Structure formats: structure tokens, C-alpha cells
A and B are shown apart, each in its own frame.
Chain A
Amino acid sequence: MKKKLIKYPIILIFLIIFVVFYKSLKDTNIYTPETKINYDIPIFSADLLLLNENLTSTEIFELDKFYLLNIWASWCVPCRDEHSILMTLSKNNKLNIIGMNYKDNKKNAKSFLDELGNPYQKIIVDKNGTNSIEWGAYGVPETFIIYNNKILKKYIGPLNQELFAEIQKIIK
């Protein structure tokens, strides 16, 4: 009979649906933008926080060295946690640390650095948050490792000892 034959495919289809739903339950459903790895860095120009200068991205990342771009703000609590790691990293002369001050008040940013120390060689100002969007960032803190104008690695959230070791490994 026709009906008998149709029975099995229908049951099969429902089984497949079950498996798919089951799998998607296990997966996280939080959407994360693709991490841009091995992409060229965006081209931009920005004011510096501490000096009265305007630099373009090629001027900032011109040397044949590893760069670390750290997006931070004085109002961001996790940024305080990772600051000591940045301070340690700044002692490594293979690495140039660039700060990007995100949606911040100049005065607060400066007192933050006075209090905790300044690990950054240069700090660019991202007053309205547009530059960090160019970088594909979606919050503070966020850290990029750059070499030869390419993004090698991106870390979302504060750096910790584990990531510190990983960064050390990359720049070796």
C-alpha cells in the first residue's frame, strides 16, 4: 500500500529533526562575530591621548615588530584586572603596546594611568567608538596581536596569566 511506504520516510524526517534540535540545544546560541584573524588592520587616523598629535595607522604600526593593541577605558572594571599583565608585557622590548582609549573622558583616563602606570607606547583616542568597530571589536577590554600590519590574534575580555603565556610564546 502507498500509505505503508510513506510511513518510514516521515518517521525518518522527524528523527532527523529531533537530532538537529537536540544538537542545537547543546551548542551555544550566543552569536559571536567571526574573529578576524590574519586580516589586514584597518586604515584610520586618530588623535593621541597624551600628545597633541594625529597619527595614521601606517605611522603607528610602521616598525618590523610585534604590536599589541589594547582597547581600554578608565570606567571599565576588567581593564583594571588586566593592567598588571600589560605592565609586565611592556617590559618586553620585542613588543610595542598601543592603547586605544574607548569612549572615555580624558581626565579620567589620565588619572587611571597615573594610578596604575602606563604600559602604552602610544595611546590613540576613540572618543565615539567608531575605530573599535573598524577593528571588529565589540567591547572593552579587547586585545589584538599585530605583526606586519596583520592581525594574528584577538582576545576578547581581560588578559590573564594563561593568555600572557600565549602572547609570550607568539612573540618568541
Chain B
Amino acid sequence: MIYSVVGHYSLILGLCVGIILIFFSIQNFKNSNQLDTKILSFSFLQLLFVLISFLALIISFVISDFSNETVFNNSHTTKPLFYKISGTWGNHEGSLLLWLLVLTLFIFIFLLRTKNQPIKYKILTLSFQQVIIIGFFLFLIQTSNPFNYLFPVPDEGLGLNPILQDPALAIHPPILYLGYVGSSIIFSSALAATTLKMVSTSWAIHIKKWVLISWIFLTVGILLGSIWAYYELGWGGFWFWDPVENVSLMPWLALTTLLHCILVLERKEILTSWVIILSIATFTLSMCGTFLVRSGILNSVHTFANDPERGLFILIFLFALIFMSLFIFFFFHHSSKNNSSNFFWLSKETSILVNNWFMMYFLSVVLIGTVYPIFLDVISYQKISVGPPFYHKLIAPFLIPFLFAMAIGPRLKWIRSDLKDKIYLIFLLIISILISFFIVKNFNTNILINTILISSAFYLFFITLKDFFNTKYKNFAQNTAHFGFSLLILSILFNNLFSSEIITNLKVGETYDNSKTKIVFESINQKKEKNYKSIIANFKITNSEGINNNLSPELRLYNQPNITTSEADIKTTLTKDKFIVINLVQNQDYFNVRYQVKPFMLWIWLSVIMISMGGLVSFLQKRI
């Protein structure tokens, strides 16, 4: 109880510090010889208040203090300690508090670490960031206070949704928020830089670190969510084009594009408008995601308890930020004369510009697919849902030129260049096409489009692979990321083309047999754990080569709340995953068995890790 009080008041104090900070910033801005030390100490104070409040919430969860409404709604005494703690951010209120914590942490680090930049710029960035922080404080205190008091105090909590009781999901939100919130720093500093007309090479070098760090966290955050969905939701896929997945993909696309623009701006003062707009877009898309998820406009696996008041608050806040940034952009930003896109056609700049437009295309496809149903519903009261075929049809063909551009682009020089080693580039192209053709030919699929798609991915794969051994070629970070991307596309393609699936209903002791696979349902065990009962089914699976596998998927019947989850059993090898999941058939002793063979699953995860490693290398690299 005492912890809730402490947490609540330290939130209010944090808000007050935010207002004081804005006041000091204005004063300091007028008289900006040096950074007021008060600003730094108050930022630290704010961070401290939010941290206290966050710790208070964690403690309330750990000691199962059910006088706190958030704890009551999301925890239970029988839950393991680890999930009590991770339950702190597994709900709407707690996750917003975490978001606020990261916001205050990042701006403090920003103030500490930013040297060699004008004082005015630092102060202005802080002010914009405080606007966001104050917005979040108000949102939290007004509509989603994590410290609401319950009386009479219930004896037992409602429990955390069991599908959220999972290690990957315990760290997925914090990592993802680090990415989202990192983009708020980029947003604030881009606005500050635009206002002060200092969007320049030196600013680009300074902000690049922040772009990279948010990009890495966002990438890893999305990856963790995807891995979780793969083994926990029991659908056997890793990306469902679920609205909320899309909502995290959109900032990622914008941020990736921004990263490439920053690389250009680092060397040459062009693409400034791109950089500003993308900085704004990345953060507003993150916020837009928050709005879509938290307001309950979209139905998805991430839907929190819905409350229209919350939605309204975020909506107004979001559009206030959008209009503020539009105003700053139109009012202060004037692109200089030499900014016009007057590049030689074969140069790195052009290829990055090409990359930008492709990325914008992918972004718009995802954006339209996600929000179009909302628009249609409002305008014509029709309900539609946009599924994977939409995205596949619109994205796959454009991946082909995109991959080729990705292979050739980095080899070009700045300003103007000729392609060297033409023969060897063409040689690799022919090899890629041949390999792809022979792979695709063996399977009954649409030959033409698949061959082209796979060969473009192979092309990028070979070129980046060769560049690892090319001593002249020094951009290791970029090469790692691009190599990872080619690997990702290849794994996804093979995974899509060569997956196989068997769905059947079996009783204990029964056998399913088609010419290729034999599934024997051997036995059932029951086990009792602290907060759930589990039914473990044992299967023996024999494939056409006579290799036996024993797989034991599990059904968990949680006691609080009363939910059944199915835990897939997955045998992972380098080349393929064997995935089996069972479900109860209502009122019968049959189990619904779903067995999938998914090639290259491991490589999808590895390649995304590799992509983020590329970012990490670039982050750690000193600029030459």
C-alpha cells in the first residue's frame, strides 16, 4: 500500500519537475552562454522520480499488493517471481510507466553525452523532449494511473495472461520501447536542429549514434516478438501481418531509411528534407502505433483493456505533435539551392535515393494495409480485414529491384562512379540465376517469379559474401547488415516455398500415416506445476528417410486466469525446424495435431541478429 502512495506521488513530482525544466529551458535559451547546471540536475531528479515510481510498482507486484488495481488485474500469488516482475510491464499502465522511464533516461544520457554541440540546440532538444515527457506524465496520471487504490483489498489477483508468461516476452517490451523511445530523441533533436537551421554534416555525425542505437533495439525487439509468436501462439509462423506487428514494422522501415539518409548527410549536405521528415515520421509512427494498440481500434493479439478515453488522449497528443512538427518544418526549414537532387545517375547518392523510394513504397503498403480497414469502416461501414496475400503480392515483386540495388549500390562511389569488375558482377548474376532455377525446378511452384526472386536474393548474398574477403572493401558494418538481409530474404523464401504441414485428429495410441510421414501418438503424461497443470503428449514421428523423432507438445491449463495454452514442441536443426502442437477438441478424447516441417527457421532468427550486429559494429566503430 505504502509503495503505491510513494509511486503515485513521485509520478506527480516528476511531472512538476518537467514543468520546472521547461521554465528553466526558456530562461537558459535567452541567455545561452553556458548550460545551466540546474537543467542537468533537474533532469536527473526527474529520472529519479520516475525510477522510484517504477520500482514501487515492481515491489507492489513482487509482494502481491492487491490493494493496487494494476497488481490485482495482472498478478496472482502463485505466479513465479520472474513473471511477477515481468508482469510489471506486461500491462497497459506498467508498460507506459516503463516507456516514461526510458524517455527520462534517454534525455538524461543525451544531455550528458552530447558535447561539441551548441548550447541552444541542447536546450531546445530538451524542451521538445519535455513536451513529450509531460504529455506522457499527464496521460499516465489522468487515464491510466498504475497506482489506483482498491478497497476492500481482494485476497487474490486475476493473474497474468499465461501466453505472456514467457521469457522472450518478458524482455520483448523493454527492448522494443528502447527502440521506440530512442526515436523520440531523434524527433526532438531533429526539430531543434531544424529550428536552429543546423541540419548539417556535423549534426548528422552526432545524431547517427542515436539513430543506430534505436535501430538496433527496434530490430532486436521485433525479432524477440516474432520468436515468441512462433513458439507460443502455435500457428507455426513468424510474421502474421497482424496490425500490431505492422505497427512496429513501420517505424523500423522509416528508421532504416533515415539511417541511410544520415549516412549521406554525414558526408555531404544533401537530403536534409528527407532526414527531417523521416525523423519526424519515425517517432510519429511509433506514437501512432501506441495509439492504434492502446485505444483498441485494432483487434489483435496485443489488445490491452480498451478505454476510449485513453485513445482520445493519445490521438489528440499525437496530432498535436504532428502539427507542431509540420509547423516547424514548413516555417523554419528552407532547403538550400545546392540541395536539389542533381546527382550523377551512377553514384552512391542515387542508389541511396533509390533505396529511400523503395522503402517508402514498402512503408506505404504496410501503412495502407493497416489503416485502410479503419478508414473503410468509418466511411462506408464495411468491415474488411487485410491479410498476408495483400502484402505478399504488393511487396514481393518490388523486392527484386530492391535487392539488386542493394547489391550494386554500396559498390558505387560517392558523387560519380563507374562500375568496376563488370565481368565478375555479371558472372555472379548468372550463377545466382542458375542456382535458383535448379532449386525451384525441383518443386512444383510458380517457376518464373520464384526464380527471379531467389536469384536476386542469391545475387546480394554472393556479392556481400565475396566482399567480406575483399581487402579493399572496408565497410564491414554495412556489409554485415546487407549480408544478413540477403540471408533473411533467402530463408523466408525457402521457408515459404518448402514448408509442409499435416493437420489431423488423433487419439492416444492412434497413428497417422501418409506416404511421407508417420505420426504415432504414443502416450500422455500429466504434470502439476505451481500455477498450471500440464498435459504432455508424446509423439513419435518417422519421415520418409526413416529418421525417428520424439516430440512432446504440451497443453497447459492455467488456474488463474483459467486459460489453456498450447506449448509447441520444436526440434531445431540447422536446416529445418520440426514443429508440433496439439489442441483439445471440445468434449472429445481426440487431440487436434498440427505437425509442420519448416526449413531454415533458425536462419531467419540468425540473419536478423546478423543485421543488428551490423548496426552494432557501426555504432562501436570510430569514424575514420
What DSSP secondary structure best describes chain A's contact surface?
A: helix
Given known pairs A11-B326, A14-B319, the reply for A27 and B311 (CB within 8 Å) is no
Is B113 on the interface with A (CB-CB < 8 A)?
no
Residues of B within 8 A of A138 (CB): none
Could you tell me if A24 and B297 are in contact, using CB atoms closer than 8 angstroms?
Answer: yes
Given known pairs A11-B326, A20-B374, the reply for A29 and B296 (CB within 8 Å) is yes
Residues of B within 8 A of A21 (CB): 291, 297, 315, 374
A-B pairs under 8 A by CB, number? 44
A133 to B311 alpha-carbon distance, docked (Å): 35
Residues of B within 8 A of A31 (CB): 299, 383
Chain B min CB distance to A82 (Å)? 24
Nearest residue, chain B, Cβ from A34: B383
Chain A min CB distance to B558 (Å)? 22
Could you tell me if A27 and B377 are in contact, using CB atoms closer than 8 angstroms?
Answer: yes
Chain A residues 77-105 with CB under 8 Å of chain B are 103
Chain B min CB distance to A98 (Å)? 24
Chain A min CB distance to B597 (Å)? 31
Is B312 on the interface with A (CB-CB < 8 A)?
yes
Is B612 on the interface with A (CB-CB < 8 A)?
no
Chain B min CB distance to A7 (Å)? 5
Give the contacting residue for A24; candidates B306, B322, B323, B378; CB below 8 A: B378
Could you tell me if B312 and A25 are in contact, using CB atoms closer than 8 angstroms?
Answer: yes
Chain A min CB distance to B387 (Å)? 15
Could you tell me if A10 and B308 are in contact, using CB atoms closer than 8 angstroms?
Answer: no
Give the contacting residue for A14; candidates B308, B322, B383, B586; CB below 8 A: B322
A81 to B586 alpha-carbon distance, docked (Å): 26
Is A172 on the interface with B (CB-CB < 8 A)?
no
Chain B residues 163-203 with CB under 8 Å of chain A are none
Could you tell me if B296 and A20 are in contact, using CB atoms closer than 8 angstroms?
Answer: no
Chain A min CB distance to B386 (Å)? 14
Chain A min CB distance to B369 (Å)? 16
Residues of A within 8 A of B332 (CB): none
Chain B min CB distance to A96 (Å)? 30
Could you tell me if A7 and B377 are in contact, using CB atoms closer than 8 angstroms?
Answer: no
Give the contacting residue for B323; candidates A3, A14, A23, A29; CB below 8 A: A14
Residues of A within 8 A of B308 (CB): 25-26
Given known pairs A11-B326, A21-B291, the reply for A29 and B299 (CB within 8 Å) is yes
Chain A min CB distance to B326 (Å)? 7
Residues of B within 8 A of A14 (CB): 319, 322-323, 326
Chain B min CB distance to A121 (Å)? 27
Could you tell me if A25 and B311 are in contact, using CB atoms closer than 8 angstroms?
Answer: yes
What DSSP secondary structure best describes chain B's contact surface?
A: helix
A3 to B277 alpha-carbon distance, docked (Å): 14
Nearest residue, chain B, Cβ from A105: B587
Give the contacting residue for B330; candidates A7, A18, A25; CB below 8 A: A7
Chain A residues 1-43 with CB under 8 Å of chain B are 3, 7, 10-11, 14, 18, 20-27, 29, 31
Q: Mark B268-306, 1 if CB is under 8 A from A, else 0.
A: 000000000000000000000001000111110000001
Q: Mark B81-116, 1 if CB is under 8 A from A, else 0.
A: 000000000000000000000000000000000000
Nearest residue, chain B, Cβ from A33: B383
A14 to B315 alpha-carbon distance, docked (Å): 12
Residues of A within 8 A of B326 (CB): 10-11, 14
Give the contacting residue for B378; candidates A3, A7, A10, A27; CB below 8 A: A27
Q: How many residues of B contact A (CB 8 A)?
A: 24
Q: Mark A39-51, 1 if CB is under 8 A from B, else 0.
A: 0000000000000
Could you tell me if B378 and A23 are in contact, using CB atoms closer than 8 angstroms?
Answer: yes
Q: Mark B552-569, 1 if CB is under 8 A from A, else 0.
A: 000000000000000000
Residues of B within 8 A of A10 (CB): 326
Is B240 on the interface with A (CB-CB < 8 A)?
no
Is B343 on the interface with A (CB-CB < 8 A)?
no
Give the contacting residue for B297; candidates A7, A29, A103; CB below 8 A: A29
Give the contacting residue for A20; candidates B291, B295, B311, B378; CB below 8 A: B378
Residues of A within 8 A of B298 (CB): 29
Residues of A within 8 A of B296 (CB): 29
Residues of A within 8 A of B377 (CB): 24, 27
Is B398 on the interface with A (CB-CB < 8 A)?
no
Give the contacting residue for B587; candidates A20, A26, A103; CB below 8 A: A103
Is B375 on the interface with A (CB-CB < 8 A)?
yes
Give the contacting residue for B315; candidates A7, A25, A27; CB below 8 A: A25
Could you tell me if A3 and B315 are in contact, using CB atoms closer than 8 angstroms?
Answer: no
Residues of B within 8 A of A18 (CB): 315, 319
A29 to B298 alpha-carbon distance, docked (Å): 7
Chain A residues 95-131 with CB under 8 Å of chain B are 103
Chain B min CB distance to A34 (Å)? 9
Residues of B within 8 A of A20 (CB): 374-375, 378-379
Residues of B within 8 A of A29 (CB): 296-299, 306
Residues of A within 8 A of B319 (CB): 14, 18
A3, A14, A25 — most chain B CB neighbours (10 Å): A25
**Other A-B pairs beyond A20-B375, A24-B297, A25-B295, 20, CB < 8 Å:** A11-B323, A18-B315, A18-B319, A21-B374, A23-B378, A24-B377, A25-B297, A25-B311, A25-B312, A25-B315, A26-B308, A27-B377, A27-B378, A29-B296, A29-B297, A29-B298, A29-B299, A31-B299, A31-B383, A103-B586
A-side residues, CB < 8 A to B, are 3, 7, 10-11, 14, 18, 20-27, 29, 31, 103
3 cross-chain pairs, A with B, having the tightest CB-CB distances, nearest first: A23-B378, A25-B311, A20-B378
12 residue pairs from A and B, CB less than 8 Å apart: A18-B319, A20-B378, A20-B379, A21-B297, A22-B312, A24-B378, A25-B295, A25-B308, A25-B311, A29-B299, A29-B306, A103-B586
